[in-house]
Amino acid sequence: MCVTIKEGSKSDKHKLRWGTTTAELLRLSDWLQGHPVSHVAMEATGVYWKPVWHILEGQFELLLANPTQVQALRGRKTDLKDGERIANFLQHGLLPGGFVPPQPIQQLRDLTRSRTTLKPEQVRIGNRIRKVLEDANLKLSSVTSDVMGVSGQEMLRAIVGGECDPAALAQLARKRRRGKIPVLRQAAKGTLNEHHRFLIEQWLALWDELASRIRKFEERIEEQIRPFAAAVETWISLPGMDRITAWTIVAEMGPDMAQFPTVAHAASWTGLVPGTGGERGQAAKRAHQTGHRMAPPRAHSGRLGGEHEKGLVLQGVLPPAGSQEGKETSYCSRRPTRCERPATYCCGPEKNIPTSVRTTSTA
């Protein structure tokens, strides 16, 4: 920790080493108030900045800095030097603040991210079940697109219960699958044995457990997102946006877009702006720049789902997916020019902090 006090041409620096426990963070807060300090900047390193932010929030004007904008030269990096360098940047107004949502949005974001983490695990378990079925030469995946659908689960539970008659398994089909009963009889005839039943039983139990956890997360999300129902309904009203996509966008970007001065800033923060690179006047072909890892997949799915809607206004604006133009165009708007494209995580214009105030920084 480095505190920089500058009054006129005189500059004083005070440094402190502190631990990461709650008691140490409270000691840090008291030490900062003793100088006193008005602005605090810290580097966003994983989740380690969050406890410091929670303790100091409400006592100082906090600013979260992008690590790529405050990184040190190799061989000249220590905790104290990092704090001194960040304090110097903050004092001269060189740090654009990162977007840190309020506590309710942070909690909602934790819930949506946890659900997003569990969903691929459930898909992985479903793929394991398909491998067991293929090993038993049960070609259910050749007849039904989703083995873990309603009809598929009915057949899997019957197999675990000891049913092996192809005709009986085919009769468990539901709705449109009823029209494929003759094909299902052929697909359900294989070399199933007790080993396969045991594997299917264990994998199916894990799939059910994950499905139960996901439902609990969705119920909690629905409860926590009620104050932001208007924002969710606004996103759902757009073609191609479903309920889960709207939840994720509200949790990641917040219900109010005021923290993003322009559409280009929002597109940059989510990582949907093409990256810049090249030399000698030649633009290098690069993928979209890195943004938030949770936001792009949902933003892509919403965009790709909406561009096929008939009569959609965006059809005349957004290029077809897979086209060369689409690869070079921002998914949220036209491609910003070099002078318009903001740095990732930039939340607004830089603020000039008076040199007479006390500033501090933590790395």
The tens digit of pLDDT for each residue in 30-62 reads 888 888 788 888 888 778 888 888 888 888 888
Strand partners of residue 359: 4, 39
% of the chain exceeding 90 in pLDDT: 19
For residue 303, pLDDT beyond 70: no
Q: Average the pLDDT over each of 7-16, 120-129, 338-347 and give the range with the smallest value.
A: 338-347
Comparison of pLDDT for 338 and 189, the residue scoring more = 189
Query: Distance of CA 273 to CAs 39, 96, 252, 255, 256, Å?
Result: 31, 19, 17, 21, 21
Long-range contacts of 21-24 (CB under 8 A, 24+ apart): 22/51, 22/55
Q: What tokens were used for 28?
A: 């840090």
Q: Looking at residue 275, what is its pLDDT?
A: 60
For residue 362, pLDDT beyond 70: no
Q: Looking at residue 285, what is its pLDDT?
A: 55
CATH architecture, domain defined by 103-226: Orthogonal Bundle (1.10)
Cis check: omega of the bond before 182, within 30 degrees of 0:
no
Comparison of pLDDT for 93 and 149, the residue scoring more = 149
Question: What is the domain partition of the chain in residue ranges?
Answer: 2-97+350-362, 103-226, 260-327
Query: Distance of CA 136 to CAs 119, 140, 238, Å?
Result: 26, 11, 45
For the segment 175-180, the average pLDDT, to the nearest whole number, is 84
Q: Average the pLDDT over each of 72-86, 103-117, 218-232 and give the range with the smallest value.
A: 72-86
Q: Provide the whole-model pTM.
A: 0.66
Please return the burial class of 311, using the count of CB atoms within 10 Å of its CB with bins 0-12, 13-18 and 19+: exposed
Of the pLDDT bands very low, low, confident and very high (cuts 50, 70, 90), residue 257 is confident
Q: 3-state class of 335 per DSSP?
A: coil
Segment holding 168, helix H or strand E: helix 166-170
Exposure string over 328-357, b if 16+ CB within 10 A, otherwise e:
ebbbbbeebeeeebbebbbbeeeeebeeeb
* Amino acid making up residue 263: V
Q: Looking at residue 217, what is its pLDDT?
A: 95
